[in-house]
Amino acid sequence: MYDIILRGLEPMRIASAASAFPKHYYSQKFLLERLQDYWGDQLKNPLLLARLHHNVTVDGRYLAIPTEQYLDIKSWGQANDIWIKVAQELGEQALCVALHNAGLNPQDLGALLFTTVTGIASPSIDALLINRMGLPAYIRRTPIFGLGCVAGAAGIARAADYVRAYPSQAAALVSVELCSLTLQREDLSVANLISSGLFADGSAAVIVTGADFESAGSEISGPKILATRSVFYPDTEQMMGWNISEKGFRIVLSTEVPDLIRQNLGRDVDAFLADNGYRRSDLQSWVLHTGGPKVLEACATALGLHNGQLDASWDCLRKVGNLSSASVLVVLEDVIKHRRPEPGAIGLLAAMGPGFCSELLLLQW
């Protein structure tokens, strides 16, 4: 095992989490109607689309641009240009709020990690944010692409890796996912129809501080990161991801994902906890990626959670849909603000995604 485990040392902390969304919010009913118009006669069974949208239990979603402007997108290049523009705006907003909530300023950052799976840019968005926000010229930056839904948890773990090596510094993770810009008009597969009702747009940022970090602002009071673990499941790459062509990103989403979660997640969480001296019954807080209804139900079954422990994840899914890598960060923000456990409580932050893989973080509040 190559876990980060801290024994007898003051560990890293999650100093803050903040989200940012586009200004265009639409009800699920409205979006269903627009998508029925969007596909028109290509959609042979409109009732199937309506049923799939109902089953994802999403009330409404934010979109990068107004709905009528999606009809004007004729190429992947056009969609990606919009992605670059909006990603900078939302990334800046989320990072500014996260820094403010932590009592920090941009010059306090030693590292900037950026994650996405819905667009590409070179220079990457983290470089563009340095220019927009006046971040330190010596900041270490790490763009991450391809981890998908697991990247929010993985990004926090990698930020923790950084401040473990540089304990007097702070690192920021920024996630921007604009899933609506990946929608494929020619793809009428069930996977694409589901994703058209499930995935949405948004951004989130998290600040992680080292054990020796000293802030001139407010005291850092977020949860400690006690340990992290990455788990890769061999030969499961067909479960989730993108098929990428000249038309952009085409969703790969296997119906077997919930079964994979039920078969592996409970065992892996128990092993992770045992290696750190805990049992599942010791956990009082759960911060899980939203996935979708079947994914959350599979997580609940695998972990034996049936008494409202995943309410934060369900509420995030209902309010804003699945934000891919940003989802678990938005859930974390909600727990910090509105569902904060008692001091000393032990919790787990977790996500799963393409690979197929899982990322686990042991927290102490």
Report, as residue numbers or ranges, the catalytic residues.
149
- Angle at the Cα of 113 from the Cα atoms of 231 and 309, rounded to 5 degrees: 50
Burial of 297 per CB tally in 10 Å (0-12, 13-18, 19+): middle
Radius of gyration of the chain (CA): 20
Q: Classify 294 in phi/psi space as left (phi over 0), alpha (psi -120 to 50) or beta.
A: alpha
128 neighbors 48 (Cβ within 8 angstroms) = no
175 neighbors 351 (Cβ within 8 angstroms) = no
Torsion over CA: 19, 232, 247, 26 (sign): negative
Q: Which of 292, 333, 326, 288 is nearest to 309 (CA)?
A: 288
Q: Which of 151, 143, 108 is nearest to 122 (CA)?
A: 143
- Tokens at 92, concatenated: 């800046």
298 neighbors 261 (Cβ within 8 angstroms) = yes
Instruction: Dump strand ranges (E) for the chain.
Output: 4-5, 12-20, 24-27, 60-63, 109-116, 140-145, 170-178, 201-209, 224-232, 240-245, 248-253, 283-288, 346-353, 357-364
Cα gap 51→176, rounded to integer Å? 29
Place of tokens 């941009």: 106
